[in-house]
Amino acid sequence: MAKTTKKMTPTRKAVAKRAAAKKATVKKAPAKRARVKKTTAKRIAARGSAKSTTSSRRTRAKTKPVPKAGARRGAASSEVRGGARPKSAAFRGRAAASRSPSRKPWGADGKALDGVRILDFTHVQSGPTCTQLLAWFGADVIKVERPGVGDITRGQLRDVPNADSLYFTMLNHNKRSITIDSKHPEGKGVLEALVKSCDVLVENFAPGALERMGLTFEHIHKLNPRMIVASVKGFGPGPYEDCKVYENVAQCAGGAASTTGFLDGPPLVTGAQIGDSGTGLHLALGIVCALYQRNRTGRGQKVLTAMQDGVLNLCRVKLRDQQRLKHGPLKEYSQYGQNIPFGEATPRAGNDSGGGQPGWILKCKGWETDPNAYIYFITQAPVWEAICDVIGKPEWKTDPDYAKPPARLPRLKQIFDTIERWTMTKSKFEAMDILNQYDIPCGPILSMKELAEEESLRKTGTIVEIDHPTRGKYLTVGNPIKLSDSLSEVKRSPLLGEHTEEILRDVLKFDRRRIAKVQSSGALGEAAPLAAE
């Protein structure tokens, strides 16, 4: 014990060093404070008097040992919007560490992105997927739409006359809508005011469209140095950077199509929207990272996600296989067992499993009439003996042609044909029940109808029923990312321009006269009807 104490006692040299460092910090502090004050004052002036309470609120909150929930939320908002910022990472680290953990029940202390405001210039699917996610986590998402038209998907694939399509409603929950003609001089003024009061601008226009509106990164950054400008484009810098891109183009250009489908068929696109929704997901992560970095640096940055890159990232294992090809055939691909030679590029692998455990889709009872009476079956090595027993082939456990994984690779087709003779005697759910008893990895092919009716998905909020004022009730997919202290509720999508006046009044603090002036200029289009809720 005595030994430990001696060890921990600082040497005289260390004490002297620390004292000198402290002295230096104390000397430097006033200059730094002055800088911070000046920047804050400038920012407040730019934003108008509504924000002038920010720094005093922060000071008050600091003097209270445990701030009230409302005050804490206020402080959080001012932090993300550019109120008085702490001086250094070390300072913030200390501040966060000294804040006592919330005592509120889980999920009752706001949401993860409370206080973050998004200027949502997105349309169609990729961008809206991203901003919908951010909205589910609590961000205030203000969707800017063209007057009278809106996001083109409002009218695409319409199922109910005169109502927003499911395409639109299912990608724009929890957002507010404002209509602005971004090319009208008054509209530009409103947009610039929004740029000043938001944290992130998200857009997925065709290359150059944002710049043609006058919103270059340099201009945005001048208006609001803390603004994060996040974009989805089809391609990154390079020969195709000016091209417009939709989902399937991205699937083809990102490597998914060339590796999907059967060996003897053409390239195939998948139903999962990996180009649009997948890229939206990537972008959301980039935005959250940029917000986190901004806490330290105080400045915004550009976030770019190219759809080609997003798809390629999801096809990473196929690029893995491309490089493995140099060292011989890909033995887990069933073409190996069928003696079909490999070419120069990663081939299409049908339903082969992408990992080291061979798998295939097998028919189940009723497959003749039900297109989804199938099960995915994985011959995972650790449960091979159980598989042999279940399918009535106990002799395979010791047969040298079947007992070990490498011996099985050349005969995968024959093995799966044998297993299929067993699965065809069971429904996909019966097979699932039996196989799960032995921990044999498998999964039924579920139709959209079955998923829509699945009770457990309703309970977790993954499938949600929403009521909409013009289209009635519909199902949607809720937030698939579950946070235990930031609970997601799904609110219906906005009607076109539904929140135009509210945003001018409450966010931009325009007075009645100014609102009337902008409205009469034609920059906002026709006054939108309010939802009959």
Q: Among 164, 276, 321, 420, which residue interacts with ligand CAO (rule: CB under 6 A)?
A: 276
Beta pairing class for 175-179 and 472-477? unpaired
Q: Among 67, 234, 278, 494, which residue interacts with ligand CAO (rule: CB under 6 A)?
A: 234
Q: By CB under 6 A, is residue 180 in contact with ligand CAO?
A: yes
144 vs 508 by CB, closer to ligand CAO: 144
> Which tokens hold the place of 267?
């390239």
H/E run at residue 169: helix 166-169
User: Cβ atoms within 10 A of the Cβ of 129, count?
Assistant: 24
**Piece of the chain touching ligand CAO by CB under 6 A; list 17-25, 89-97, 239-247, 443-451:** 239-247
Q: By CB under 6 A, is residue 125 in contact with ligand CAO?
A: yes
Q: What are the distances in angstroms from CA 438 to CA 356, 384, 398, 403?
A: 20, 10, 19, 18
Distance CA 63, CA 41 (A): 21
Q: By CB under 6 A, is residue 522 in contact with ligand CAO?
A: no
Q: By CB under 6 A, is residue 166 in contact with ligand CAO?
A: no
Q: Which residues contact 278 (CB under 8 A, 6 or more apart)?
A: 272, 310, 311, 314
Q: Residues 189 to 208: which contact ligand CAO by CB under 6 A? A: 204-206
Q: By CB under 6 A, is residue 124 in contact with ligand CAO?
A: yes
Distance CA 369, CA 392 (A): 27
Q: Which residues contact 127 (CB under 8 A, 6 or more apart)?
A: 120, 121, 202, 203, 204, 232, 280, 283
**Piece of the chain touching ligand CAO by CB under 6 A; list 84-92, 93-101, 179-187, 264-272:** 179-187
Distance CA 316, CA 8 (A): 50
CB 210 within 8 A of CB 178: no
CB 105 within 8 A of CB 82: no
Q: Is 276 a catalytic residue?
A: yes
Q: Among 244, 316, 320, 413, which residue interacts with ligand CAO (rule: CB under 6 A)?
A: 244
Backbone angles phi, psi at 386, to 5 degrees: -65, -40
CB 424 within 8 A of CB 365: yes
Query: Smallest distance from the beta carbon of 214 to ligand CAO, in angstroms?
Result: 10
Query: Smallest distance from the beta carbon of 510 to ligand CAO, in angstroms?
Result: 18
Catalytic site residue from 120, 276, 309, 321: 276
Query: Smallest distance from the beta carbon of 496 to ligand CAO, in angstroms?
Result: 11
**Piece of the chain touching ligand CAO by CB under 6 A; list 178-186, 368-376, 470-478, 507-515:** 178-186
Q: By CB under 6 A, is residue 58 in contact with ligand CAO?
A: no
Site size with ligand CAO, rule: CB under 6 A: 24
- Which of the residues are catalytic? 276
Residues of this chain that bind ligand CAO (CB under 6 A): 124-127, 144, 146, 180-183, 204-206, 209, 212-213, 232-234, 244-247, 276
